[in-house]
Amino acid sequence: MSVLYFVLALAAAMGIAYLISKLVFKKSGSAKLAVRTNIAAFIMLVVLCSVVSFSAAAAETTPEPISAPISTTAAEAPAPAANHNKGIAFLASAIAIGVAGIGSGIAVAAAAPAAIGATSEDPKNFGRAIIFVALAEGIALYGLLMSFLIYAAANGMK
Tell me: the pLDDT tens digits for 87-106? 778 888 888 888 888 888 88
Distance CA 74, CA 13 (A): 49
Q: Are residues 8 and 52 in the same domain?
A: yes
Tell me: the pLDDT tens digits for 17-70? 677 767 776 777 777 777 777 777 777 777 777 776 677 666 666 565 666 555
Q: In the prediction, which pLDDT does 67 show?
A: 61
Tell me: the pLDDT tens digits for 102-151? 888 888 888 889 899 999 999 898 888 888 888 888 888 898 898 888 88
Enclosing domain of residue 43: 1-61
**pLDDT at residue 75 is higher than 60:** no
Q: Are residues 94 and 41 in the same domain?
A: no
Flag whether 72 is in a domain: no
| CB-CB contact of 17 with 41 (8 Å) | yes
Q: Are residues 90 and 157 in the same domain?
A: yes
Q: Are residues 89 and 155 in the same domain?
A: yes
Flag whether 107 is in a domain: yes
Q: What is the CATH number of the domain that holds 144?
A: 1.20.20.10
Q: Are residues 152 and 116 in the same domain?
A: yes
Flag whether 128 is in a domain: yes
Flag whether 76 is in a domain: no
Which of 26, 61, 96 terminates a domain? The answer is: 61
**pLDDT at residue 74 is higher than 60:** no
* Long-range contacts from 79-87, C-beta under 8 angstroms, 24+ separation: 83/57, 83/154, 83/156, 84/57, 84/58, 85/154, 86/2, 86/53, 86/57, 86/154, 86/155, 87/2, 87/50, 87/53, 87/54, 87/56, 87/57
13 φ/ψ sector (left φ>0, alpha ψ -120 to 50, else beta)? alpha
* Long-range contacts from 155-158, C-beta under 8 angstroms, 24+ separation: 155/86, 156/83
Flag whether 71 is in a domain: no
Q: Are residues 99 and 152 in the same domain?
A: yes
Flag whether 39 is in a domain: yes
Its pTM stands at 0.49
Q: In the prediction, which pLDDT does 121 show?
A: 92
Q: Structurally, how many domains does the chain consist of?
A: 2
